[in-house]
Amino acid sequence: MKNVVEGSFAAAKAVQLCNPGVIAVYPITPQTHIPEELAKMIADGELDSEMVRVESEHSAMAACIGSQATGVRSYTATSSQGLALMHEMLFVASGMRLPIVMTNVNRTLSSPINIWNDQSDSFAERDSGWIQLYCENAQEIFDTHIQAFRIAEETLLPVMVCLDGYILSHTSEPVEFLDREAVVKFLPGYKPGFSLNPARPVTMGPLGTPEHFIYFKKQQDEAMGKALETIRKVNREYSSISGRLYGNGLIETVNLVDGKDSALITLGSVAGTARALLDKMGIGLIRLKSLRPFPLEELKKACQGLKSLGVLEKDISPGCNGALYNEVRSALYGLDGRPRISGFIAGLGGRDISMRDMEMVMRKIRCRNGKLPAKEGKEVVEWLM
Amino acid sequence: MEVETGAIVKEPGSSNKNKTGSWRTFRPLVSAKCTGCGICGWYCPEGAIKIIEKDGKKSVEIDYDYCKGCGICSRECAQKAIKMEKEEK
């Protein structure tokens, strides 16, 4: 049965079914509907979680680190400035290998102050050691949250589920839920290898001297590498209970048949806009679902044979293009006959990316057909404004 | 090098094994003025000072395996009985 619900409700519903022991949250626009829904579920007796009403997002993550360390499945949700305030605690969570799950409702960062959507907030945290999964629609929000707890607990890496503020969080769409039994079977109770317990004392988060520190970081990086396979596996297993498959869990290719020579790569909800124009414009789509770990090999394979590739992203690394553009170019550096890559910075601070904008972007990608833009004579990054 | 996932130390008591006294630059020295009141020990952040009794006279003893030489004991001593002396290594 399909239910027409907001993206925020889809997230809250999935979290309810995953039944975390602790939810520590601080409200921030546009994440607020998620903790509101969860608080209501607890008040109505539909969810048996301890809701910790903290005084900041820094404390929210600190509380999650503490509760997860005692062996309790923990969840939080935030946006923008809230995520930025958590910054140092994100590294603590990932370094301690605590499988916390967090929803980040993507909103830009000040200044100037702006409460609307782009992906600058989570892109700024891509080196924090968290897995980052981006959703395209409300159904995927529901499904990705349930997968996220499995992925986190199997890899011992925290997972950030990213969804576009307002465009997804405040928009109602039809969503099919799973029943509790199916979720419990898919996601058994959390069993930590070690936890803080006075009966069996351990030390967590100790000092790491210069001699040892680098080994822990290498281990984290290797765990991210292994997470690629875990994400693929969880995506497959989840499809067997839900009937829904999201590419290979890491990237999804659409309309990218043999002989297709141009494609657009993007992530998040704007992929929906692109999808609607693929047939008309005759190009392919590569939707990146996992930004971390970055699916290097899959991306190279998807781009094999392409002449022209466009990267459309809602973030900017001032002074050095968009972050995704840089990562895609780096990934394809070693690919023989790699496509010419055009960058597009769009939708910053909630600026709409209309069908017309998308059509213009696709036309440029297709028309370049492996040639450099005539005026500049080199690969360029353009701003849609 | 084999390291534990998440840097977990599985056995308690590791701080006993990790002697931090080598970090010290200044060494607290207790003089005969000490009355053994123990104020220094209450303030010591390392718990490295204990009160001892010898021949009916109270005094304090500093555990140099863990004393980092912060000097708080010297600062707090009501009798000015603890002197910080540069330690040559």
| Per-residue b or e along B21-55, where b marks 16 or more CB atoms closer than 10 Å to that residue's CB | beebebbbebeeebebeeebbeebebebbeeeeee
- Give the C-alpha separation, B56 to B38, whole Å: 16
Q: What residue has token string 């030390």?
A: A203
Please tell me the distance from the alpha carbon of residue A304 to that of residue A299, in angstroms, as a whole number: 9
B5 contacts on A by Cβ (under 8 Å): 97, 156, 193, 219
Domain ranges of chain B: 21-83
- Please state, in angstroms and rounded to a whole number, the distance separating the CA atoms of residues A265 and A311: 5
Domains for chain A: give ranges and CATH numbers: 2-242 (3.40.50.970), 253-383 (3.40.50.920)
pLDDT score of B12: 87
* Mean of pLDDT over chain A: 97
DSSP string, A23-76: EEE---TTTTHHHHHHHHHHHTTS---EEEE-SSHHHHHHHHHHHHHTT--EEE
pLDDT tens for A245-289 read 999 999 999 999 888 899 999 999 999 999 999 999 999 999 999
Residue A260 CA to residue A278 CA, distance in Å, equals 12
pLDDT range class, residue A331, cuts 50, 70, 90: very high
The gap from C-alpha A162 to its chain's centroid, in whole angstroms, comes to 4
Q: Is the ipTM of this complex over 0.90?
A: no
Mean pLDDT of A151-156: 98
pLDDT at A139 (0 to 100): 98
CA distance A230 to B49: 52
Residue A186 has pLDDT above 70, yes or no: yes
User: Nearest CA of chain B to the CA of A24: how many Å?
Assistant: 22
Structure confidence by residue, pLDDT tens digits, B2-55:
789 999 999 888 888 888 899 999 999 999 999 999 999 999 999 999 999 988
Record: fold of B21-83: Alpha-Beta Plaits (3.30.70)
Contacts of B12 in chain A (CB under 8 A): 201-203
| pLDDT, average across residues A103-123 | 98
Number of residues that this document lists for chain B: 89
Q: Which of B3, B6, B14 sits opposite A215 (nearest CB)?
A: B3
- A97 touching B (Cβ < 8 Å): yes
Q: Three-state DSSP class for A5?
A: strand
Report, as an integer, the average pLDDT of A57-68: 98
Q: Is the Cβ–Cβ distance between A272 and A303 less than 8 Å?
A: no
Mean pLDDT of A37-64: 98
Q: Which residues of A touch B6 (CB under 8 A)?
A: 95-98, 156, 204, 216
% of residues, chain A, pLDDT over 90? 95
pLDDT beyond 80 at B1: no
Selected residue with higher pLDDT from A334 and A4? A4
Q: Which of B8, B9, B20 to mutate to test the interface with A (most CBs of A within 10 A)?
A: B8
Q: What is the DSSP letter of A293?
A: S
Is the CB of A33 inside 8 Å of chain B's CB atoms?
no
Which site among A91, A92, A203 would you substitute to test the B interface, given the most B Cβ atoms closer than 10 Å to its Cβ? A203
Query: What pTM was estimated for this model as a whole?
Result: 0.92
> Average of pLDDT values for A171-186?
98
**Tens digits of residue pLDDT in A341-382:** 999 999 999 999 999 999 999 999 999 888 888 888 999 999
Give mean pLDDT, residues A131-148.
Answer: 98
pLDDT in the model for residue B89:
65
